[in-house]
Amino acid sequence: MDNTDIHCVPNTLMIVGLASMGINYFASRICQDALDPGRFPRWKTFLKPYFGCSIFFTTLMLISVILSYAMKGSLETSLKIGLKNGIRFYKDTDTPGRCFQKQTIDRLQMEFQCCGNNDYKDWFEVQWISNRYLDFSSKEVK
């Protein structure tokens, strides 16, 4: 992805998903202890805050889903720019921070059976072979 502003949608979805796992675990403990009349009274004080927390995270999840639908065009554009930059920096495996770029792009192409944003011609627009493998003294390289 290219645009850092657009990262709020997937990050929010991941955070809310993790929080919902915690909320569901907490709910399972309440339900399990509700079967025993001796253990249920200690949970009564937690029920209102739990219900409020559940409503908050459910609302946050709904807002995230609406945002992802509303920002669909921005998400697609950001992904296209990110893939274009990934193709452009494919050759830079020696640059710190980009050492896994080649492996990630290769895996992306194999799993989704795609070659670029539109088609294989996207690779003709960039130099994707690393400079260390090219002999610049040769006329064929220039």
Kindly state the average pLDDT of the residues 11-40: 85
Helical pair 44-70 and 8-34, crossing angle rounded to 10 deg: 150
- What is the rounded distance in angstroms from the CA atom of residue 125 to the CA atom of residue 48? 59
Give yes or no for a contact between 8 and 56, defined as CB atoms under 8 angstroms apart. Answer: no
Tens of pLDDT, residue by residue over 109-124, are: 888 887 778 877 777 7
Give yes or no for a contact between 101 and 84, defined as CB atoms under 8 angstroms apart. Answer: no
- What is the rounded distance in angstroms from the CA atom of residue 134 to the CA atom of residue 96? 21
Tens of pLDDT, residue by residue over 39-95, are: 888 888 888 888 898 898 888 888 888 887 887 777 778 888 888 888 787 777 777
Kindly state the average pLDDT of the residues 23-44: 85
Report pLDDT for 1.
55
Tell the burial category of 112 from Cβ atoms under 10 Å away from its Cβ (0-12, 13-18, 19+): exposed
Biggest alpha carbon–alpha carbon distance for the chain: 87
pTM score: 0.53
Q: How many residues does the chain have?
A: 142
Report pLDDT for 142.
65
